[in-house]
Chain A
C-alpha cells in the first residue's frame, strides 16, 4: 500500500513545487490585510454585538452607562477595556471586572470564557431571565445557555446565536446579526 502513497505524494510534490514557487509573486501583488490579534478582534465583535442588540425598555442604566462585564482573570480583559468610552446608542460603554457574582444584574453584556467554567452554572442561575447579553468564548461553555458563542473557524472569528436564550433574556438581536452568524438556533 505504501508504494502507492509514495507515488501519489511524489506526483503531488512534483506538480506542487513549481506552483508554490510562483505563488509568492502572484500573492504579493494583491496583498490581503495582515492577520490581527485574536483578543482585539473578539473584543471588537463584542462591541458590535452590543450595537446590534435591543434591550427591553425597562432596562436600568445606572449612571447612564452600558456595562460590559468580564472576569478579571480573562485574557480578553485588556482588549475589552479598550472599549471604555466608546458609545452604544448614545450610552457610554463601561467595562467592569466581575469578580463575585452579586452584581451580575448590573451587566448589560457579560463576556465569559474558560475562566468562568467553574462558575458558569452559578452565573446562569444568578441571571435568571435578566436582560443580559451573554457572549461566550469557550468550547466547553459554548452553547450551554449563552446567547452568542464566539469561535474561530479557518483562522476567522465566527459566532453562533441561540435565539431561544435571547428570547428568554427579552433581547432582540438585529436581523443583520442573525444573517451574519454561522449558525442560528
Chain B
C-alpha cells in the first residue's frame, strides 16, 4: 500500500568524517569534488546521447575536442597533420571537413559558410578549458537542426562566470616544444549577473617527420623539417544578466603542412594554413508563462581560411588559397507544455551567408586562378512534439522544412522516436529519421585547374541519410548504466571526392548509395569512492551498395575504455584511457588496427587553488597511422609516438 518505505540504514562505506555532525558554518567552508552525475533525463532523449564533463576533460588530460569525441562510443578520428576529421558509425569520407556533423557552441551553429566545416582540432574556436560539457547526439538531427546534422550533433556547452569565481591562470608544457598559457576571469554578482573572460595562447614546434614516399635526395630524403608546427590563440568573452546573454569569441590558428598535400613541393617551410574564426551571439529567454518559454537568438559569424601552398611549376611558386565566409542570422524557439501531456518545441531559423568568397592566386608573378563570390540564404521551420501515449510510453515526433538558396533545394526531414520506460531501470527506444546535407560552396564551386587541383561541380545535389535504430538503456542502479543499440544508416547521393581519370583533377560527385549497419554496447559505472568507468564496444560495417566494396576509413571494430579513479590517500586522481580502432581500408590499401593508451595523473588541490596534471599520450609508444585522402601522396599518415604534457593551474 504505502509506496514510501523506510530505507534500511546502510553501513557507511566511507571512513570519512561524519559531515552531518559538523556545524553548518563549517559545512559552508568545505570544498566539494563533484560526484559523477549522469546528466539527467538522458534516458528520455530521442537518441542514445554521450556526455563528457569538464571533470572528465581534466581527468583524462584531453587537449582538443577531437580527443574528447574519440573517447565516445562509435566515434573515431583521423588526423592528416593539418586538420582532424571525425568518423561515426563507419563513415569518414576522405576530403570531408566534418561537414556531416553539426557543431553547436551553446546551441549556436559553428560550421562555417563555405566549407560547412566542424572544427574539432586546435582550430576550434574555444580553449578546451572553457568547456563545461560536451554532448554528442548520434543519428540524424535534421528534424530540429536542419542541414549538416547528418551523422550527429556535437553540442559544446561553455563555462559561465560562476564556474570560475575569480581569476585563473594555467600554463602547459609538452613534447615537441608544446607550450600554452591561459588567463581567465569569471565573476557572478549578487544580482545574478555574471561574466567571463578568457584568453589563451598555444604553440607547438612539432616533430620533424619522415615520409618514405618522398625519400629522394632532391626532397630532403623524405624528411619534412619543422613543418608540423601549430599555433593558436583563443579569446572568449561571455556575459549574462537577467534574460539576456551574450558571447563573443575569436580564434586564430596557424598550422604547418608537412605532408605536401595537393601536389605541393615537399619540405618547403612556407606551406601552412591559417584559420580565423569569430562569432557574436546574443540570446534572450522569455518566460511567457509557467509553461511556455521563448528563446530568441541573433548571431553573426565569420570564418576566414587561407592556405599558403608551394608549387614547383617550375619555378617554385607560392600560391595562396582561401575563403572568406561571413553570415548572420536569427532563430526563435518556443517550448511549451501548455497542452497536458505534450511537450511542444517549435521554431524558425534564418541565416544569410552574405559572403562566400573563394580565391586562389599565385603571388609572384600574380596569376588569379579562382575568384568566386557568392551569397546565399538558408531558412528552416520545425516542430517537435513529445507526448505520453501511456505513462510509460513516450512518442517523440518532429519534422523540419529547410530551404537553401545555394542549390534551390528544399527538404523535409522527419524523425520519430518511441520511448518505452519498461521499468524504473529499463528504457527501450525505437528511432527512425532522415537527415540531409546540401552541398557546400566549396564542393559546388571550388575550381583550380592545375596539377593537383580541383574542378567545380555546380550540378551537385543534396545527400540524404535514412536511419533506423533500436536501443535499450538499463540502469541497474543510479550508478550504473548499460546501453545497447543496433543501427542501420542508408546514405543516398553521397557527395564524394574523387579524381576524374580524364584530367587527373579532384571533383565532388554524388556517387552511389552507401549503407552501414552495426551494434554498439556501452557500460558506465560510478563508484561511491569517486571512481568512474565508461567503456564501449562497437561493431560496424559500411559498404558501397553499388559495388559492394567496403568504404575506406571505416573500421569494423572500435573499443573504448576510460577509467578515472582517486589514488587512495594522496588527493591525486588517475585517468587511464585505452582505445582500439580496427583495421581501416585506405584509398590504396589499408592501415592496421591499433590500441592506444593514455595516462593522466591530476591533483585538483596540490595546495589551495593549485592544480597540477601530468599526462602521457600513446603510453606504449605504438606506431599507428590514419588513412590519407585524395589530396595526399601518402596512403596513410603516421601519427605521433609517446608524448607528454604537464599542466599547472592556479585559481587566485
Q: Residues on A close to B: CB < 8 A?
A: 2, 5-6, 8-10, 12-13, 16-17, 20, 23-24, 26-28, 32-41, 43-45, 47-48, 51-52, 67, 69, 72-75, 77-78, 80-86, 94-100, 102-103, 106-107, 113-115, 117, 138, 152-158, 176-177, 180, 183
Number of inter-chain CB pairs below 8 Å: 186
Cβ of B633 within 8 Å of any chain A Cβ, yes or no, is no
26 A–B contacts, CB within 8 A, in A order? A9-B201, A10-B201, A12-B181, A16-B181, A32-B608, A34-B571, A35-B30, A36-B30, A36-B32, A37-B35, A37-B528, A37-B530, A38-B34, A40-B16, A41-B19, A44-B20, A72-B424, A73-B478, A82-B10, A99-B4, A107-B4, A114-B40, A153-B188, A154-B165, A180-B25, A183-B190
Chain B residue numbers with a CB within 8 Å of A51 are 24
Contact A102–B33 (Cβ < 8 Å): no
Report how far A82 CA is from B6 CA in the complex, Å.
12
Contact A84–B9 (Cβ < 8 Å): yes
Report how far A69 CA is from B479 CA in the complex, Å.
20
Chain B residue numbers with a CB within 8 Å of A38 are 32-35
Cβ of B610 within 8 Å of any chain A Cβ, yes or no, is yes
Per-residue contact bits, chain B 450-473, to A (CB 8 Å; 1 contact, 0 not): 000000000000000000000000
Contact A97–B650 (Cβ < 8 Å): no
Known A17-B171, A158-B28; judge A24-B7 contact (CB<8 A). no
Chain B residue numbers with a CB within 8 Å of A154 are 162, 165-166
**Closest residue of B by beta carbon distance from A144:** B290
Among the listed A44, A52, A78, A84, which residue makes an inter-chain contact with B19, where contact means beta carbons less than 8 Å apart? A44
Contact A84–B7 (Cβ < 8 Å): yes
Contact B20–A37 (Cβ < 8 Å): no
Cβ of B606 within 8 Å of any chain A Cβ, yes or no, is yes
Counting chain B CB atoms within 10 Å of each CB, which of A32, A43, A74 scores highest? A32
Among the listed B32, B169, B424, which residue makes an inter-chain contact with A37, where contact means beta carbons less than 8 Å apart? B32
Chain B residue numbers with a CB within 8 Å of A83 are 20
**Closest residue of A by beta carbon distance from B200:** A9
Contact A37–B16 (Cβ < 8 Å): yes
Query: Looking at chain B, what size class is its interface with the partner chain?
Result: 35 or more
Chain B residue numbers with a CB within 8 Å of A103 are 2-4
Contact B7–A95 (Cβ < 8 Å): yes
Known A36-B32, A157-B32; judge A81-B9 contact (CB<8 A). yes
Contact A8–B199 (Cβ < 8 Å): yes
Among the listed A35, A43, A67, which residue makes an inter-chain contact with B33, where contact means beta carbons less than 8 Å apart? A35
Report how far A120 CA is from B445 CA in the complex, Å.
54
Per-residue contact bits, chain B 13-24, to A (CB 8 Å; 1 contact, 0 not): 010110110111
Cβ of B41 within 8 Å of any chain A Cβ, yes or no, is yes
Chain A residue numbers with a CB within 8 Å of B9 are 81-82, 84-85
**Closest residue of A by beta carbon distance from B37:** A75
Per-residue contact bits, chain B 410-423, to A (CB 8 Å; 1 contact, 0 not): 00000000000000
Contact A35–B604 (Cβ < 8 Å): yes
Contact B32–A41 (Cβ < 8 Å): yes
Contact B171–A13 (Cβ < 8 Å): yes
Chain B residue numbers with a CB within 8 Å of A67 are 4
Q: A36-B30, A96-B4, A180-B28 are in contact. List 7 more A-B contacts (CB 8 A).
A: A35-B30, A35-B33, A36-B17, A37-B530, A52-B24, A73-B478, A82-B9
Report how far A134 CA is from B181 CA in the complex, Å.
45
Chain B residue numbers with a CB within 8 Å of A114 are 40-41
**Closest residue of B by beta carbon distance from A40:** B19
Report how far A75 CA is from B30 CA in the complex, Å.
20
Report how far A8 CA is from B201 CA in the complex, Å.
10
Contact B32–A155 (Cβ < 8 Å): yes
Report how far A9 CA is from B10 CA in the complex, Å.
52
Known A41-B27, A99-B3; judge A36-B10 contact (CB<8 A). no
Nearest CB of A to B474, in Å: 14
Nearest CB of A to B481, in Å: 12
**Closest residue of A by beta carbon distance from B605:** A35
Report how far A82 CA is from B17 CA in the complex, Å.
12
Chain B residue numbers with a CB within 8 Å of A43 are 19-20
Q: Return the 6 tightest CB-CB contacts between A and B, nearest first.
A: A27-B607, A114-B40, A154-B165, A44-B19, A100-B3, A84-B9
Contact B6–A95 (Cβ < 8 Å): yes
Contact B201–A6 (Cβ < 8 Å): yes
Chain B residue numbers with a CB within 8 Å of A33 are 30-31
Report how far A176 CA is from B24 CA in the complex, Å.
10
Known A23-B650, A37-B14; judge A96-B30 contact (CB<8 A). no
Chain A residue numbers with a CB within 8 Å of B201 are 5-6, 9-10
Cβ of B619 within 8 Å of any chain A Cβ, yes or no, is no
Report how far A159 CA is from B147 CA in the complex, Å.
43
Cβ of B103 within 8 Å of any chain A Cβ, yes or no, is no
**Closest residue of B by beta carbon distance from A104:** B4
Counting chain B CB atoms within 10 Å of each CB, which of A13, A24, A95 scores highest? A13
Counting chain B CB atoms within 10 Å of each CB, which of A36, A52, A113 scores highest? A36
Nearest CB of B to A167, in Å: 21
Chain B residue numbers with a CB within 8 Å of A99 are 3-4
Among the listed A86, A138, A153, A183, which residue makes an inter-chain contact with B162, where contact means beta carbons less than 8 Å apart? A153
Contact B6–A20 (Cβ < 8 Å): no
Contact A16–B35 (Cβ < 8 Å): no
Chain A residue numbers with a CB within 8 Å of B390 are none
Among the listed A10, A28, A98, which residue makes an inter-chain contact with B4, where contact means beta carbons less than 8 Å apart? A98
Report how far A33 CA is from B9 CA in the complex, Å.
28
Contact B27–A157 (Cβ < 8 Å): yes
Nearest CB of B to A152, in Å: 6
Chain B residue numbers with a CB within 8 Å of A34 are 571, 605
**Closest residue of A by beta carbon distance from B650:** A20
Chain B residue numbers with a CB within 8 Å of A86 are 20
Among the listed B17, B24, B530, B607, which residue makes an inter-chain contact with A48, where contact means beta carbons less than 8 Å apart? B24
Cβ of B183 within 8 Å of any chain A Cβ, yes or no, is yes
Chain B residue numbers with a CB within 8 Å of A85 are 9
Contact A156–B32 (Cβ < 8 Å): yes
Report how far A98 CA is from B3 CA in the complex, Å.
7
